[in-house]
Amino acid sequence: MADSKARKLAAGNWKMNGVKASLSEATTLAEMFPTPTVGILLCPPATLIAPMAAALSGSKIRVGGQDCHAKPSGAHTGDISAAALVDAGADYVILGHSERRADHGETDHMVAEKTLAAFMAGLSPIVCVGETLEQREAGETLDVIRHQLAGSLPNASDLDTLVIAYEPVWAIGTGKVPTLEQIAEVHDDMRTTLIARFGDGATSIPLLYGGSVKPSNAAEIFATSNVDGALVGGASLKAADFSGIVTALQNA
């Protein structure tokens, strides 16, 4: 069962990177932050969830999955249930990442079903939304984000454990970052949209920004309206990089 969700969160998404030897990056990070004032989360490939959780036991760093199946068990070769992630030591799960949506055809409806499964298993889901470059250039960004939030979140959302990540597809792994005004516009609109749907309880849902966050740009992003942390890909793989982002969040 997840600890109480962190209001400010630095979450690392290792994607399909890392082997057992990479666990030293996680333990180094834990040594650097024995008493962090923000949540720190690492989401390694599924094969590393249990060993990472074991290596980090006694530390304040949490471990998460990168996907789960909507069903609790059954004939779904290659998939992992939310309960199995919990059993392996996960507290969080990333859902609806744009790479899952693109590579595996995940729709908003599928993401909503997985999100419900995560709630039921006691995981904190980090639900990802974000526009493509084509959509941004067509002036559709806010409509796209509102539509994705509407479809990817179940009505029975648990506001105490839900986390949202805004990740413009064109900013992921590209070194391109929206302007701070663009980030603020989307985050403010997400907050308004979530409050309109779920009520005032949505004021405490952490809204993460993701897309080419680095130690050098983290502070200004964390100073942006309604940004409560980051979902970080490449810069989360090395403790030396990720620690700069965690420190920036602690200082925000």
CB nearer to ligand PEP: give 195 or 252: 252
- Of the candidates 183, 250, 204, the one whose C-alpha atom is nearest the C-alpha of residue 7 is 204
Q: Which is nearer to ligand PEP, 65 or 234 (CB)?
A: 234
> Is 106 tagged catalytic?
no
State yes or no: is 76 an active-site residue: no
Q: Is the Cα torsion angle 127, 133, 139, 140 positive or negative in sign? A: negative
Shortest Cβ 177–ligand PEP spacing (Å): 9
**How far from chain centre, in Å, is Cα 224?**
18
Q: 13 or 141: whose CB is closer to ligand PEP?
A: 13
CB 12 within 8 Å of CB 234: no
Of residues 25, 167, 185, 187, which has the active-site annotation?
167
Q: Which residues bind ligand PEP (CB under 6 A)?
A: 13, 15, 167, 172-173, 210-213, 231-235
Cα of first residue to Cα of last residue in the chain, in angstroms, is 29
Q: Count the Cβ atoms, other than its own, within 10 Å of residue 122.
A: 16
When the beta carbons of 83 and 166 are compared against ligand PEP, the nearer one is 166
Burial of 66 (0-12, 13-18, 19+ CB in 10 A): buried
Q: Which residue is nearest to ligand PEP (CB)?
A: 233
- Of the pair 71, 217, the CB lying nearest ligand PEP is at 217
Amino acid at 55: A
Tell me how far, at minimum, the Cβ of 233 lies from ligand PEP, in Å. 2
* The two three-digit tokens of residue 186, written as one number: 């989307």
DSSP 35-76: S-SSEEEEE--GGGHHHHHHHTTTSSEEEEES--BSSSSSS-
* CB hemisphere CA count around 150 (13 angstroms): 9
Q: Minimum distance from CB of 30 to ligand PEP (Å)? A: 21
Q: Which of 25, 69, 97, 106 is catalytic?
A: 97
Q: How far is the CB of 236 from ligand PEP (least distance, A)?
A: 7
Residues known to be catalytic: 97, 167
